[in-house]
């Protein structure tokens, strides 16, 4: 059995106040910088992480290149999930 797939995630940060991004390269660094600030109280931050993992059987992949050579593209019915 041959499998192919994708593993990814989406992270959303919802702070209660604006974050200063001066001197940072990412949102994670900006959050850490605010949490360790000695001049102001750190803002509360809600962090929502959405995981995504998709695996497919590579043995069932369809060669679609032959259908994409001209416009409009008409894909065969066996590519679609029944009822969609």
Q: pLDDT tens for residues 2-46?
A: 667 788 888 888 888 887 777 888 888 888 888 777 777 777 888
pLDDT of residue 68: 67
In the prediction, which pLDDT does 13 show? 85
Q: For the chain, what are the domain ranges?
A: 3-79
- Supply φ then ψ for residue 12, to 5 degrees: -115, 125
User: Looking up tokens 């991004």, which residue turns up?
Assistant: 21
Quote the pLDDT of residue 1. Answer: 53
Cα–Cα distance for residue pair 37/3, rounded to 1 Å? 47
Q: Provide the whole-model pTM.
A: 0.46
């Amino acid at each position: 059995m041959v499998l192919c797939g994708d593993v990814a995630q989406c992270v959303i940060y919802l702070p209660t106040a604006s974050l200063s991004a001066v001197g940072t390269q990412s949102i994670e660094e900006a959050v850490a910088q605010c949490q360790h600030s000695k001049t102001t109280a750190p803002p509360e931050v809600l962090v929502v992480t959405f995981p995504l993992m998709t695996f497919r059987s590579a043995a069932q992949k369809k060669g679609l290149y032959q259908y994409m050579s001209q416009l409009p593209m008409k894909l065969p019915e066996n590519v679609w999930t029944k009822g969609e």
